[in-house]
Structure 1
Amino acid sequence: MQKLKLANLYRSELIPISGKLVERYNLCLVKLGFTETKLKTFSIDGKGWSPEIAEEKENSQYLNNGEANPHAIIISPLQKGKPVYVPFHTFDRDMMQLVFKTYESKINDITRDCAICLDFDQNIDAFYEPLDVLKYDTISINFHLINNLYKAQKTQFELIEKFKEGHNFIDENLHETLLNSAKTYGDLRSRDLHLPPLSFRSDSFYTRAFGGVFVLRDFISPIVVLEDKEWYKEAIKDTTHDVLIYHISQPELMEKLRDHVIIEYDLEDVVKTKRYERIKKFELSQHLQNPTHAIKDILNDTVLFKSYLNKVDIKTRKKIMGVELYLEKLEVSNQYKIADIVDIKLFESLHEPHSSLDPKHQDLIWMLLVNVAPKDVLFLYWYDKEAFYNSFKTWDDSLKDWAIETISNNI
């Protein structure tokens, strides 16, 4: 990942945490039912998630109490607008944006000497089977302050009212109690520490629960797409929900998405795009064996690309150039079918969200598409960074350089 870090393409917007903020973060962890971190310094994203703590705990979802109970931590106003690098749901960042939009001034004040624990409550105590994710509807975002600061403020108000009564102003014990509260928590009289729960409505989304599930429910009929084969087998046993269920690798999925006007394709248009060129180049890179030139140079140089295209076997060459071959044959006769000439995965990679979709749905469908056929390095990076990082680790160094250059040139 060092190459990505140097190019500012790997978690480049993390916030460094040290000193008192570490203490407050640990208090949040304990309040949420987790164990403290032993780290003295670490970094966090917009949701309060830390890659260093995730590594320490060997759990990328260490802020979850089970898959049905995710949490977040706010210890700095700098978290506003920051990325959520490993979201458990695709709407996690939207929820954090809602929180800061609603309570920005209160967060700025509270985090001067306190921290905020967030509980995302969807009224589900635990998941038992994959289609439990359909229960997601309205999520209540609840807020809890460490050190019971809100309760301490309430106590201070009560002590002050008591101080004003009768001759209590000469009560030395009351004086001492007030002073101790002020020393411990500061003067809380003028601070607004009340953060009423917020409601967030979920529609279509992706969740990492059950190995990864896409829930599409704003279309002709609800569709659930599972990434895990075993959980898919479990899900199709369900007879109570009126929902279409697919595994992400099923060809029938793409057909259904087209039928439901969720995705579309236009091969004549797409071959003129940079996206097609990226996909074609990546496809060739997967079939190069012991090249004498750097993969980056082969993919960037037209002459070298053609040279190596002619070095691979005829079957592979047809696979890489299948779309163009199909369009050429189509000019002569319309008897040819896409499936007869174009590789199925290459064909799937050339789909896009239907133009009629709302922008937020387009992003979700792009995420689904780049996981169905992960052949465009740029779109994979844009729409599913964790999937991109996992693939990146397996690539040849020169292919990594090409991917970094491709992404950097499009940001």
Structure 2
Amino acid sequence: MNLLIERGLMFGNLLRVDSPAWVALYNRALEKLTGKTTALTEFHIDLTGLSPEIGDELGDLDYLNPPNGNRQFILLTTEQKTAPMLAADLSVYRAILRRFIADNESQLFSLTARDAVVGEIDDEVWQVAQPADLLDIRKVRISADTTGNHVAEADRLTAMIDRFRSQPDAWWDDVLIAEMIEQAKKSGDVTRNPVRLAHTSFDVPDFWTPAFGGVYVIRSAREPAVIFTDPAQEVPLSGVLTMSAHDRNEIAAWLARNGLAEPIAAAAAADTAAILRQKIDFILVDSATRAGIDPGDGTRADLRRAAARLAPAAMPAELRGLAAILRYVETGGDWPVIDSGDPAYFYVLRATALPARDVVNQLLTELAPHDVRALFTLNKTLFYKLFQGWDAAKQKYVADQLAREYQIDKQGTREALFGPEPGMAEPGAPERNAPAAPAAPWGPARVTLTERAAPAAGPWGAAR
């Protein structure tokens, strides 16, 4: 993993904490949350204040996530909103916490100027003991305050002021006036500088969780579904369609019926040929290194020479379909006939611009794991897991390619692959008149529930 760290592909963009004042504030917050402190004088923190160095020191890499408790966070500055989130029980936590900071930036800026802000993310479910409990997670609430309880003290003074203004005889209540004066010494003038954190509740219709081997919960679609990464963990759940990642035909039919995915070639402004060539390059490197063939420097010329040395049996199954699509895009040849039974099927899809877009894109990486650029961009948990098992030559090629092409222009790469980022508006359920499944190149979906076990008609032709 040192290869990824050296190239800024792991633990990148963390916030550096190296001033004695910040270290002291962090220790005060850490002690309040966990009862522990750090002896380090310099470390890095993520969006939630989690530090890999402190995790190594404490022997707990997820020390802000107590067992059977809510995920906690420490804010030293509002600049943490640009940092990544190293560990998340739900995939939406980063977006929710970023929005919480953005919506309360002026208040949090004022609070962090004098103290650290600590809080927790509450999914309002006491315990996730079985997959059915995941369906109870519908809303997330964030509670936060400084280590000195400035928000609570301000709320207490605000309540006193409201009481003073509303009660007719409050002017003669010397006890209340004395209490307000003493409280103002602790919280300051809340009439001129109000301390009130707004928008602390967020709806969660769609998410991924690492629990039970990895589970995708997608409820914003017209046909809600729960998809298990591990087929052994799959259990039927009431009110939703249940599938596993091995049910490729069923997943393809469900995506088509609900209009959740589109072919890359149908996306406006997407350089389809360049994207397809990149996918083919990564697949060839994987095949060459597994066959013991040196891919050289990973240039296209080196990869073509390596591919020529591959035995027919070692040629990746995805390559034939991707090459056919590339020929069609570049030369307008015969229309490729590729359905969900073809290994290349999910490599040419991306999620449509619906509320479940990010979760669907992450799901597609599970079904097309050799597309390591998409895997790194959308599913770092799986990327890091697979990276450790790769051949050294593939590790070097992938790290070099990602550092050269993705790190230079992260935003541009994401938009080219998956469309523009959604705004900071809270994701919600689809409207009652949600858009129908896109016609796209393959026409409207015609797969019925009774037909979902058969290969679904795909973006490149009808099912065979």
TM range (shorter): 0.7 to 0.9
> Is residue 2:375 matched to residue 1:373?
no
Equivalent AA in structure 2 for residue 205 of structure 1: F
SS at match of 1:375: coil
Q: Percent identity?
A: 20
Are 1:8 and 2:3 an aligned pair?
A: no
1:383 to 366, 378, 381: 378
Instruction: Determine if contact 1:284/1:320 at 8 Å carries over to the other structure.
Output: no
Q: Does 1:116 align with 2:113?
A: no
Q: Show the counterpart of 2:405.
A: 409
What is aligned with 1:400?
Answer: 395
Checking the alignment, whether the CA contact within 8 Å between 2:73 and 2:118 is kept in structure 1 is: yes
Distance (Å, rounded) in 1 between the aligned partners of 2:105 and 2:29: 19
**Amino acid in the other structure paired with 1:138:** K
Distance, in Å, in 2 between the alignment partners of 1:31 and 1:214 is 34
Tell me the residue number matched to 2:47: 46
C-alpha separation between the residues in 1 aligned to 2:69 and 2:252? 29
Q: Which moved more, 1:200-209 or 1:322-331?
A: 322-331
Relative to the length of structure 1, the TM-score reads: 0.77
CA distance in 1, matches of 2:349, 2:291: 31
AA in 1 matched with 2:213: G
**Contact 2:317 2:343 survives alignment (8 Å):** no
Q: Equivalents in 2 of 1:63, 1:257: separation in Å? A: 36
1:259 to 257, 260, 266: 257
* Preserved CA contact (<8 Å) 2:157 2:187: no
Q: 1:325 to 1:212 in 2, by over 3 A?
A: closer
1:97 partner SS: helix
**Residue matched to 2:427:** none
Q: Report 1 or 2 for greater relative contact order, CA contacts < 8 Å, sequence distance ≥ 6.
A: 2
CA RMSD of the aligned region, Å? 4.2
Partner SS for 1:295:
coil
Q: Secondary structure at the match of 1:280?
A: helix
CA distance in 1, matches of 2:278, 2:225: 30
Equivalent in 308, 312, 315 of residue 310 of structure 1: 308
- Amino acid across the alignment from 2:285: S
**Distance in 2 between the 1:31 and 1:263 partners?**
45
1:280 aligns with 2:280: yes
Give the conservation status (yes or no) of the 8 Å contact 2:27–2:38.
no
Query: Whole-Å Cα distance in 1 between the matches of residues 398 and 67 of structure 2?
Result: 35
Structure 1 residues 289 and 409 mapped into 2: Cα distance closer, same or farther (>3 Å)? closer
Partner of 1:247: 244
Whether contact under 8 Å (1:46, 1:81) holds in the other structure is yes
Unaligned runs of 5+ in 2: 165-171, 410-464
Over 3 Å counting, the alpha-carbon distance change for 1:146 and 1:12 in structure 2 is same
Give the direction of change, closer, same or farther, for the CA distance of 1:265–1:143 in structure 2 (3 Å limit).
Answer: same
Given that 1:296 and 1:401 are in contact with CA atoms closer than 8 Å, whether structure 2 keeps it comes out as no
SS in structure 1 at match of 2:315:
helix
User: Which one of 216, 219, 224 corresponds to residue 217 of structure 1?
Assistant: 219
CA distance in 2, matches of 1:60, 1:366: 27
Q: Is the 8 A contact 1:204 1:217 kept in 2?
A: yes
Q: How does 1:1-400 map to 2 (within 5 A)?
A: 1-18=1-18, 19-32=20-33, 34-40=34-40, 41-66=42-67, 69-150=70-151, 192-195=194-197, 198-232=200-234, 235-236=235-236, 238=237, 241-251=238-248, 252-265=250-263, 273-288=273-288, 294-297=294-297, 299-302=298-301, 304-317=302-315, 319=317, 321-323=319-321, 338=338, 344-353=342-351, 355=352, 357-358=353-354, 360-400=355-395
Structure 1 position 305, deviation (Å): 2.5
Q: C-alpha displacement at 1:51, in angstroms?
A: 1.9
In the alignment, is the contact (CA less than 8 A) between 1:90 and 1:206 conserved in 2?
Answer: yes
Contact kept? 2:29, 2:147, Cα under 8 Å = yes
Between the aligned partners of 1:61 and 1:141, the Cα distance in structure 2 is: 19
CA distance in 1, matches of 2:387, 2:290: 19
Listed as ranges, the gaps of 5+ residues in structure 1 are: 167-173
38 and 328 in structure 1: CA distance in 2 versus 1, 3 angstrom threshold? closer
Instruction: Tell me how far apart the structure 2 counterparts of residues 256 and 283 of structure 1 sit (CA, whole Å).
Output: 27
* Contact 2:294–2:306 under 8 Å retained in 1: no
The answer as to whether partners of 1:296 and 1:402 remain within 8 angstroms in 2 is no
User: Any idea what SS the aligned residue of 2:287 has?
Assistant: coil
The whole-number CA distance in structure 2 between the counterparts of 1:152 and 1:266 is 53
Deviations 1:182-235 (A, max 9, x none): 7xx796777543435622112222223333221111112110112234432xx3
Distance 2:207 2:143 in 1: 21
Greater share of helix = 1
**Match of 1:387, as an amino acid?**
L
- Distance, in Å, in 1 between the alignment partners of 2:326 and 2:394 is 30
CA offsets per residue over residues 111-132 of structure 1, 9 Å max, x none?
1221222222232222221121
Distance 1:144 1:369 in 2: 39
Give the aligned length. Answer: 385
| 1:346 partner amino acid | A
Distance 1:329 1:378, change over 3 A: closer
Per-residue deviation, 1:312? 1.7
Look up the match of 1:170: none
Question: CA deviation digits over 1:117-151, x for unaligned, max 9?
Answer: 22222322222211212122232221232133345
CA contact (8 A) 2:287 2:314 kept: yes
The CA distance in 1 between the partners of 2:58 and 2:333, in whole Å, is: 61
After TM superposition, give the deviation of residue 247 of structure 1 in Å: 1.7
Compute the displacement of 1:301 (Å).
Answer: 3.3
